[in-house]
Amino acid sequence: MRNLTWGFILIIFGVLILLDNLGVADFGDMIRDFWPVLLILWGVSVLIKKRKRDNSPPASAPPTAPTSPITGEHGAMGVAEEGAGEPSGAPEESAMGTPSGAAETAGYSYQAAGGPYQYESELLHQSSVFGDVTVRVTSPRFKGGSISTVFGSSSLDLSAAKFADGEHELRIHGVFGESRLFLPRDAAVAISASSVLGDLVIFGQHKGGISSEIQHMTPGYAQAPGKLRITVTRIFGGIRVD
């Protein structure tokens, strides 16, 4: 039942993100209105699981094996002595079978070996279901785009980018994890940040609790030749904009 519940949750968020990317519905508005559905699904799964547990017959105790007259109380020691001949210099393996001394590879992350993923295009579109998204944009004519994550955080560095003339839109959505955004100094931006359960820090302005929201517009936004309207939405996680 737990897998079925998570399946429904993934389908719901996938549909919402798809509709937002297609411009049919706003992800942030839908989450603010319908996020209690997650609690309903969670509660239903807990009740069904408890009912199945109550109705299941009690498990019978397995028969006790007789003690071997040869091993007796020292049977466990015999097993330990049997493995004592293995070489001690072999690398210790983790639960996933990777040697503990080996470097781990973030297979689902856009974090490169020498730093974040470099993005020079005018439009940004990145998405990830499992893993983090870390992007640094250096475009001289950035026109916005979108970042979507489900199980993972996102970090977008626009400090080296310049906005193209006109008003453009950037949407950053996520379910579990945090969202970080670094903007150029004196950038003309209008930010709408919201989180169902998490802290918001927007240019030093802090707000926490349940269903938090911060609206911020930089001075001179209306007169700026190139400006960016930013929407950042998180379900379970914080948002920070610097």
Q: What is the pLDDT of residues 72-127, one digit of tens each?
A: 444 444 433 444 444 444 444 433 333 333 333 333 334 444 456 666 788 998 88
C-beta of residue 191 within 8 angstroms of C-beta of residue 216: yes
Q: Minimal CA–CA distance to 136: which of 153, 121, 149?
A: 121
Residue 183 one-letter amino acid: L
C-beta of residue 137 within 8 angstroms of C-beta of residue 157: yes
DSSP string covering 123-167, please? SEEEEEEES-EEEEE--TTB-EEEEEEEES-EEEE-TT--BPSEE
- C-alpha–C-alpha distance, residues 105 and 94, integer Å: 14
Sequence spans of domains, the chain: 2-54, 111-241
Residue 169 one-letter amino acid: E
Q: pLDDT digit string (tens) for 151-206?
A: 899 999 999 999 999 999 999 998 889 999 999 988 999 999 999 888 999 998 99
Question: Is a pLDDT exceeding 80 seen at residue 142?
Answer: yes
